[in-house]
Amino acid sequence: MASIRRFAAFAVLLAGLGAEALMATAQARVYGTVTDEKGQPVAGVKVTVTLAGNDSFRLEETSNAKGAFAVTLIDATRTYTYRWEKEGYQTLQQTFKVPISQNERHDVQILSIAEALRQDGPGAEPAAADAAVEAFNLGAEAAHQGDTVTARAKFEEAASLDPTLAAPWTALASLDYTDSEWAAAAEHAAKAHTLDPGDPKPLRILVGSYEQLGDTANARLYSDKLVALDPTAGADGLYTQGVELYNGGDTDGALALFEQAVAASAEHAKAHYMLGICLVASDAARAREHLETFLRLAPDDPDAGTAREMLQYLK
């Protein structure tokens, strides 16, 4: 089962340290919802992104029926200008930086012309917020270079400059997790989760940290939240936990987690594979079913040969 152990180690790295892995890229994504002065979503708002000093750069998107928009930035080290406009509404323009490798939510309100005549339009983002993003990006670059001391200092600086920014807390939690500082990782990840409940990365760190601390109640609590937020990611976490139990000799416990992983994501090939392995001795029919499903989903997986051998044995 060496391949399972190698996969488990890799899966733990991906599941627990997603934020650190993402630091290797300078991309980022800005998304949000456009609403009017009554809080109602505004469809058909043109969102234009430009870059000072580069007249050829221009991104354009349009908000959908729910007022939602999303823009992907290839190089998040730069500061972009965003413009939201629609006939009958006051145009809104803001310039800000987005943390590297993050999905940054940026909801905006545009006022109808009538409402704009009665009040001043929304102002620009606070300067402290831009400084926080700059500090975070410097921390991300330092972490990518292996300078965790500088990275930690910059992430802490970013968190103090903008207490509403979740990314620094996620990054700190990731560093703590790498250093096996489970309690600190859980504390920082919990802060990130509170600030951005829709980000699965802090939840992965919370699950892994509480497992290492032996706090099964909190591990299950955040695992359930992860499954609810992102069934595929939740299935990955359950699968990783199952592999750890299997390698530790707890086949029954592993079996239960693999079944939960498949329930969360029926297309999770490796969970089907491990279910087949766990069931070989007790339920040949179910073992065959899961191994066949694994081969259908991942015929070229490194463990496909083992699965085919097991199926020959189960005939």
What six digits make up the tokens of 60?
Answer: 């354009």
pLDDT given for residue 25 in this prediction: 56
- In SS3 terms, 266-306 reads as CCCHHHHHHHHHHHCCCCHHHHHHHHHHHHHHCCCCCCHHH
Q: What is the pTM of this model?
A: 0.51
pLDDT in tens, the chain (315 residues): 434 433 333 333 334 444 344 344 578 899 999 999 889 999 999 999 999 888 889 999 999 999 999 999 988 888 999 999 998 888 898 999 888 888 889 999 998 877 776 665 444 344 667 788 888 988 988 888 889 999 999 999 989 888 888 999 999 999 998 899 999 999 999 999 999 998 888 998 998 899 889 898 998 899 888 878 877 777 887 888 788 888 888 888 889 889 888 887 889 999 999 999 999 989 999 999 999 999 999 999 999 999 999 999 887
Residue 10 three-state SS: helix
What 3-state DSSP class applies to 44? Answer: coil
93 strand-pairing partners: 83
List b or e across 64-103, with b for residues whose CB sees 16 or more CB atoms inside 10 angstroms.
eeebebebebeebeeebebebebeebbebeeebbbbbbbb
* Residues written for the chain: 315
CATH topology of domain 28-125: Immunoglobulin-like (2.60.40)
Spatial distance between the Cα atoms of 118 and 116, rounded to a whole number of angstroms: 5
List the domain boundaries for the chain.
2-22+130-314, 28-125
| Cα–Cα distance for residue pair 95/194, rounded to 1 Å | 26
Task: Indicate the class that CATH gives domain 2-22+130-314.
Answer: mainly alpha
Residues 203 and 15: their CA atoms lie apart, in Å, by: 9
At residue 119, the pLDDT reads 64
Give the long-range contacts of residues 66-70, CB within 8 A, separation 24 or more: 66/33, 66/41, 67/33, 67/34, 67/35, 67/40, 67/41, 67/42, 67/43, 68/31, 68/32, 68/33, 68/34, 68/41, 69/31, 69/32, 69/33, 69/34, 69/45, 70/29, 70/30, 70/31
C-alpha distances in Å from residue 280, one per residue of 138, 218, 300, 302, 308: 51, 32, 22, 19, 13
pLDDT at res. 117: 66
AA letter at 196: D
Kindly state the tokens that stand for 128. Answer: 């402290």
